[in-house]
Amino acid sequence: DGGITQSPKYLFRKEGQNVTLSCEQNLNHDAMYWYRQDPGQGLRLIYYSQIVNDFQKGDIAEGYSVSREKKESFPLTVTSAQKNPTAFYLCASSIGSRVDQPQHFGDGTRLSIL
């Protein structure tokens, strides 16, 4: 079945540590997105990529970094500069050529501070 796989499901970060969240899709979608979800705040866009080797900052990019070396993969690194990283992180993808198409989501990674 086609879909988006996020791993790990749960992740713990120590102070001063960078951690990387994985997002892989086999939907052949060009566009991919990373969102942060906090209770009562809805979804906030961290980074998005419309094509391989290109990505743009979203609304809350500070303290995060991404890469898009392959169409299928869009990993997110939460750096030590992100002082409040505890949240639920969601990866999504959509058909690149069609802006009327919905985004498809993975099942998220819950990041906590040790």
The residues binding another protein (CB under 8 A) are 4, 6, 31, 40-45, 48, 50, 58, 88, 90, 92, 94, 96, 99-100, 102-108, 110
Q: Which amino acid belongs to residue 25? A: Q
As a dihedral over the C-alpha atoms of residue 10, residue 15, residue 18, residue 22, rounded to 10 degrees, the angle is 10
- Using the minimum distance from each CB to another protein, give the nearer residue, 13 or 110: 110
d(CA 105, CA 82) in angstroms, rounded, equals 23
Taking the complex as a whole, how short is the minimal distance between the CB of residue 27 and another protein, in angstroms? 13
Angle value at C-alpha 7, between 93 and 113, nearest 5 degrees: 115
Taking the complex as a whole, how short is the minimal distance between the CB of residue 98 and another protein, in angstroms? 9
- Using the minimum distance from each CB to another protein, give the nearer residue, 67 or 88: 88
